[in-house]
Structure 1
């Protein structure tokens, strides 16, 4: 399984960007995107930014990753999945 990280662009030269997530920085390729600006949130897979994220989506992904870490450490993880608590699972529209 491959997980994408929501990272924020700190600096870019058009071909690569220095990005940050969870107080860690790494240089990633941005060649699949059309000149993302400094401050943009991007979804990074295997050191490649694959798409732009809006602030809400970046936060939800970061919360989910923190929740997984909490669950793996046997800590309460409900607060990370507040948008799912008390809801019945729903199939995506194309599977209904």
Structure 2
């Protein structure tokens, strides 16, 4: 099982993109998703975009992850 984080694409440069979540930016690879656009949300695992999601699903996932993190002592 893997944990993928939803991130919004801010810039695209070939097969890489700059993404952001919660004010943190990361450069990721787009090899598996060549048809994404700036503004799209993608699930990122190990620096690689593995799926697209809509904004509502991205928000819901981030809320769930935050609730889980809040439960860790």
The aligned counterpart of 2:28 is: 28
Greater share of residues in strand: 2
Distance in 2 (alpha carbons) for counterparts of 1:16 and 1:34: 10
For the Cα contact (< 8 Å) 2:15–2:34, is it kept in 1?
no
The aligned counterpart of 1:54 is: 54
Which segments of 5 or more consecutive residues in structure 2 lack a partner in the other structure?
none
The aligned counterpart of 2:45 is: 45
- Match of 2:57, SS state, is helix
TM-score by length of 2: 0.91
Which segments of 5 or more consecutive residues in structure 1 lack a partner in the other structure?
74-96
**Superposition RMSD in Å:** 1.2
Q: Which runs of 4+ in 1 moved over 3 A?
A: none
With a CA cutoff of 8 Å and minimum separation of 6, indicate the structure with the bigger relative contact order.
Answer: 2
The aligned counterpart of 2:8 is: 8
Tell me by how many angstroms 1:52 deviates: 0.6
TM-score by length of 1: 0.71
Tell me by how many angstroms 1:11 deviates: 0.1
Work out which of the two has the higher radius of gyration on C-alpha atoms and give 1 or 2. Answer: 1
For the Cα contact (< 8 Å) 1:14–1:31, is it kept in 2?
no
- Match of 2:70, SS state, is helix
Distance in 2 (alpha carbons) for counterparts of 1:51 and 1:3: 12
